[in-house]
Structure formats: C-alpha cells, structure tokens
Amino acid sequence: MNNFNRRDFLKTGAALAGLSGAGLAGALLPASMAQAQSTAGKIRVGLMLPYTGTYTPLGVAITNGFKLAVQERGGKLGGREVEYFVVDDESNPAKAPENTNKLIQRDKVDVLVGTVHSGVALGMAKIVREAGVIWINPNAGADEVTGALCAPNIFRTSFSNWQNTYALGKVVKQRGHKTAVFITHKYAAGDQMMASFKDAFEKEGGKVVKELYLPFPQVEFQALLTEIASIKPDAVAAFFSGGAAVKFIKDYQAAGLKGKIPLFGPGFLTDGVLEEVGDAADGMETTLHYADGLDTKKDNAFRLAYVKAYKLQPDVFAVQGYDAGQLLAAGLDTVKGDINNKAALIKAMEAAKIDSPRGVWTLSKAHNPVQDIYLRKVVGKQNKVMGVASKALADPAHGCKA
C-alpha cells in the first residue's frame, strides 16, 4: 500500500496534465513574457480548500462566498480582474506544504485563500511566513494562526477557537450554573475551546468539574454520557461538529439527559445539523459569530444574493468566504490594484472596516476579527439570534510577537 497510493496516482495524473499544459503555454509565449503578463494583468488568487472528503460542503460554501464578493464588484478587485487557481487540499495536513507550494511557486499566486482544517492551516502558515505572500484564512480556527505564528501577511476572516467558547463560558455562568462538564474530541481544536471555556467560566466564579475526551474521530458516547449522569453537573458544554454533533445531540437526548442537565456549546455544535437531529436540539443555547434571523439590511441582501447565485442557503462558512473577498477588495481598492506594493496593501487591509453579513468587524493587531459573538437558541430548525453574548470580542493573540 505504501508503494503506490492515491497520492502517487494523482501525482502521475497531475504530472501528465502539467506536461501537456506547460508544452502548450511554452509554445505560445516565452516564459519571461508570460511572467510580465501576470503582473500587469489579473490578480492571481489561489483557493486552497477541501473539495473532497468530509469538509467538502465547507470548502464549497467558502468558494461561493468569495466569488460572490468579487462578482458584486463587477468581477474586479482594485480595478483588476481576478484569475483563480484552485487546489483541493483534501483536509490532509500531510499534503499541506506540497499544496501550498504548488500555488505559490507553480501558479505564482498573489493572494492565497484557505483553508478549513486547522492542521492544514498550520502547515500553510510556516510556508506563507517565509514566502511573504498575502494569506487570508477564511475558516481554520487554530489559535496559533493569529497567535504564535502571526505575521504581517497572515489574515483571518473567521474566528479563533478561543473566541466562541470564551463567550460561552460567561453565558453559562450567567444562567446561574456553578459547575460544568466540558466534553470534546481529543485534538487541538477541542483542547483550545475547552481551555477558553474554562478560563471564562472560572473567572466568573464557576468550576469545570470534569473534562471529558473522546479519541478523534470516534463517536461512541455512551460511556461518557453515563459519566456525566454520575457527576451531575449543573450544565454540560460540548464541542463536536458534523456527524459527531448529530450523534452527540441525539444520544444526549436518548440517554435522558436533555431536560435534566442543560447542554450548551459553541455554534458549530448546532450549525448545519438541525435538519437531522429532529427535536433533540430544541432550546439549546450556543454562541457563534453568526446567527439566523439577524435581520440586518446587509445580511438580508447577502442571503438573497447568495440564494440567487447558487440556489443554496448560505451558512457561516459562506459568510467567512464572502468576508475574505471583502477584506481583499478593501485592501486592493486603497492601493488601486497595485498588489506588489505589499506594505501599503497590508496597511490598508489592517485598517479595513468590514461590513459583513454578521455585522461590522475590524481586525485585531494580530489580524483576527474583533467581532460580536451572538447568543443563539435553537428554535424550530433555526439558530435564532437572542442577543450579543460578547460585544466586539478580540482574541488575546497569545504568543504573537509581530
């Protein structure tokens, strides 16, 4: 199996395709001319996102959102047309360096947009820091990206893992709960969300009496649910997403815990799964930087345009992709499309005030959104906004020296 796997197969295929492509281009243009063309002509945007595997819908939503932002500006950013270079990162951290280099070195992109999976994003960060190319991260929440690994050319338009659960910790305490159990998969995102929840909850005088972990990506919760029942905390906070979230919410109800011990979570727990969990999530409160029913002019217009363009309902990931486009547009408009004037571009992006469907946000010093975290409640099949859990919350950017 080690001798010939899918990667080798794809490589062979890509090499063949590359050969024929390069041959064609080489015949038409001398290399130097092709290069000159690219700097004077279009903005080269590299999209490095998952288009296969579990995170495919997220990759697609981000791509759609980004392209919508560009289309709304007549297909141009800073007066220049946009050319896309797309790489499927398969959410595979092992391939992150290779895929990042493909876009930076082979395709010579001016801007890199990606990705969903934090492990892949950390792989990208190392290369991007050295290459100096502008990188906009439209999802991956790893605290390090705008923490220890922060750099002038690294931007994020989504959230840090720290943000949503920090707001959650305060909410759970405000509900009058004194003890809580936190349950999640044993991996980096779970650890980071657990830590910030605990930080906020205990700062307010609560106590996290037990941290429960499950090996990623296992979904056999029964033993841990029994453990929760025996501990009898005032509240439970959980972070899972996708299939694991569906199963956890349903199992929580089936174990008879729903209604006895209230279940909270960052919004990822209930986003995109409400159709599937039935009534098991009814009344659950979560925190996230986006919500249903915001009913602002910007959000309504965005939702309408998105549905019209893609025949799909937008979600938080589409918003993050859309804002990645908006952030880049804001920067390029200021420098009039001069992508090579990097210092001015970065300064312009730093100063941008993004009028997002989620509400207006700005960037922190480490380039993470300073944004309102909403308190939401599951009503029917919606994550209905109930108010703001934490106003203009900025990530503390632990370890950022830039």
Partner 1 sequence: MDFAFVLIQLLNGLQYGLLLFLVASGLTLVFGIMGIVNLAHGSFYMIGAYLAWSLAGMLDSFAAAILLGVPLTVVLGMGLERLLFQHLYHRDHLYQVLLTYGLILVFEELRSVIWGDDVHGVAVPALLSGSIPLTDNLSYPIYRLVISGFCLLLAAALYWLIQKTRLGMMIRAGSSNREMVQALGINIKMLYTLVFALGVALAAFAGMIAAPVSSVYPNMGAQVLIICFVVVVIGGIGSVWGALLASILIGMTDTFGKVLLPEYAGMSTYLLMVLVLLWRPEGLFKRG
Provide the binding-site residues for partner 1, judged by CB under 8 A: 1, 4-6, 52-54, 56-57, 186, 211-220, 222-227, 229-230, 232, 242-243, 246-247, 250-251, 254-257, 260-261, 272-273, 276-278
CB-CB contact of 111 with 328 (8 Å) = yes
Alpha-carbon Rg for the chain in angstroms: 22
CA–CA gap between residue 242 and residue 244 (Å, rounded): 6
Q: Is the peptide bond before 217 cis (omega within 30 degrees of 0)?
A: yes
Taking CA 375 as the corner, what is the angle to CA 397 and CA 162, rounded to the nearest 5 degrees? 20
Kindly state the greatest CA–CA separation across the chain.
Answer: 73
Residue 376 tokens read as: 């939401």
User: Which is closer to partner 1, CB of 202 or CB of 251?
Assistant: 251
User: Which is closer to partner 1, CB of 104 or CB of 214?
Assistant: 214
User: Which is closer to partner 1, CB of 245 or CB of 349?
Assistant: 245
Residue 335 Cβ, how far from partner 1 at the closest point, in Å? Answer: 38
Q: At 354, phi and psi to the nearest 5? A: -90, 120
User: Which is closer to partner 1, CB of 52 or CB of 105?
Assistant: 52
- From residue 108, alpha-carbon distances to 43, 104, 231, 356 in Å are 10, 5, 56, 29
Residue 165 tokens read as: 């659960």
CA–CA gap between residue 281 and residue 273 (Å, rounded): 9
User: Which is closer to partner 1, CB of 5 or CB of 37?
Assistant: 5
User: Which is closer to partner 1, CB of 216 or CB of 310?
Assistant: 216
Residue 69 Cβ, how far from partner 1 at the closest point, in Å? Answer: 24
Residue 269 Cβ, how far from partner 1 at the closest point, in Å? Answer: 13
Residue 223 Cβ, how far from partner 1 at the closest point, in Å? Answer: 4
CB atoms within 10 A of CB 2: 5
Of 292, 334, 318, give the one whose Cα is nearest residue 158: 318
User: Which is closer to partner 1, CB of 150 or CB of 183?
Assistant: 183
CA–CA gap between residue 96 and residue 128 (Å, rounded): 11
User: Which is closer to partner 1, CB of 60 or CB of 112?
Assistant: 60
Residue 94 Cβ, how far from partner 1 at the closest point, in Å? Answer: 15
Residue written as token pair 């569906």: 246
Residue 321 Cβ, how far from partner 1 at the closest point, in Å? Answer: 17
Residue 90 Cβ, how far from partner 1 at the closest point, in Å? Answer: 11
DSSP lists the bridge partners of residue 148 as none
